[in-house]
């Protein structure tokens, strides 16, 4: 047997219930604000495959190197990567022995 609440339902005058007519006017958020939905659904984090994927490594660097890059603010690891890419640009990649 279903239990029925005997309390009177409280209706907030500043936030009345949605009527069926109002509900019929609703549109999908993708139609109303597609840029927000797209940014929400866009994949976050690191790319997992393809040319843009990076390899996670453990690397020991001098404390002064870390301090220099950290002092430049957020994104210091990306700047270390850019410095390393710049250092090898124009040079052929050494072959494995």
Q: Find all residues with CB under 8 Å of 76, minimum gap 6, and list them.
A: 69, 70
Q: What 3-state class would DSSP assign to 30?
A: helix
Is 93 domain-assigned?
Answer: no
Total Cβ atoms within 10 A of residue 70 = 13
Residue 15 domain-assigned (yes or no):
no
Q: Is residue 38 part of a domain?
A: yes
Q: Which domain holds residue 81?
A: 20-45+53-88
* Residue at 64 is within a domain: yes
**Location of structure tokens 């022995």:** 97
What residue spans of 1-97 are helical by DSSP H?
Answer: 20-24, 29-32, 34-41, 63-70, 76-88
Q: Is residue 63 in some structural domain? A: yes
> pLDDT (tens digit, 0 to 9) for every residue of the chain, 97 residues total?
677 777 777 888 898 889 999 999 999 999 999 999 888 887 666 666 666 778 888 999 999 999 999 999 999 999 999 999 999 987 765 554 4
Residue 65 belongs to some domain of the structure: yes
Number of structural domains (the chain) is 1
């Amino acid at each position: 047997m279903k239990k029925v609440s005997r309390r009177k339902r409280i209706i907030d005058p500043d936030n009345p219930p949605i009527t069926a007519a109002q509900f019929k006017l609703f549109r999908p958020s993708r139609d109303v604000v597609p840029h927000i939905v797209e940014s929400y659904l866009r994949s976050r984090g690191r790319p997992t495959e393809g040319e843009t994927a990076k390899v996670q490594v453990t690397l020991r660097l001098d404390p002064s190197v870390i301090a220099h890059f950290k002092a430049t603010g957020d994104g210091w690891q990306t700047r270390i990567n850019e410095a390393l890419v710049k250092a090898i640009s124009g040079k052929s990649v050494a072959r494995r022995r």
